Amino acid sequence: MSISSIGTALSGALAQTQRLANSANNVANQRSTGAIPAADGTVQPGQTEAFQPQNLSQTAVTGPNGQGQGTRVVARPTTPAYIPEYQPDSTDANEQGLVAAPNVDPVTERVDQISSLRAFQANLATIRAQDELERSAIDALA
């Protein structure tokens, strides 16, 4: 391992914090309903837009020779963005009493949260191991 391994592990740890924050945001807004959008994606004036949940994906960042240099997180809107939900008393309800509820599955989000936590811990373990290795090397040379 080298200094670049710390950078790669740090990149992974930061990616996991983004995943966790995104999942928490999705869960926190899962009840943020709004009007069902028209075919062009707009809602009528005075109506609320439903929360748009995001999915994150990770891609490897490589150098010019193909060596790994970390990871990058890309946010993409969840498709479909909403599911119709019956709420006839809502001011955003259409003629059928339906509103747009964000397409968030709490079980999937919880799994993502646990997965990102474990991956974060693994990246921190890599950083600690590299730090200990470098300290041992310095002690051996001193």
- The pLDDT of residue 65 is 82
- The pLDDT of residue 2 is 55
| Complete DSSP assignment for 18-41 | HHHHHHHHHHHTTT--BBPP-TTS
- The pLDDT of residue 119 is 95
Structure confidence by residue, pLDDT tens digits, 82-121: 999 999 999 999 999 999 999 999 999 999 999 999 999 9
- Cα–Cα distance for residue pair 71/86, rounded to 1 Å: 41
Mean pLDDT of the chain: 91
- Cα–Cα distance for residue pair 74/120, rounded to 1 Å: 17
Is the model's pLDDT at 68 over the cut of 80? no
- Cα–Cα distance for residue pair 87/95, rounded to 1 Å: 11
What lies within 8 Å, CB to CB, of 109 at 6+ separation is 23, 26, 27
